[in-house]
Amino acid sequence: MNRILDKEEALKKLTSVPISGRRPIASTPTLRSTLFHTIVAK
């Protein structure tokens, strides 16, 4: 359970950092979901 929460926190930090002043990487739910499942799959 904790590992999943840690991954979620890491994902939040990842997605909250804008690239070159643009919108966050996963600004859309679909992208965020895809990223999350990719991380969980590893």
The DSSP secondary structure of 27-42, one letter per residue, reads: -SHHHHHHHHHHHHH-
pLDDT in tens, 1-42: 567 778 878 777 766 655 555 555 545 667 667 777 777 766
What confidence score (pLDDT) does residue 38 get?
75
CA distance 3 to 25: 22
3-class secondary-structure state, position 16: helix
Residue 31 to residues 1, 2, 11, 15, 21: CA-CA distances in angstroms?
Answer: 23, 23, 12, 10, 18
pLDDT for position 40: 74
Indicate the pTM of the whole model: 0.30
pLDDT at 23: 56
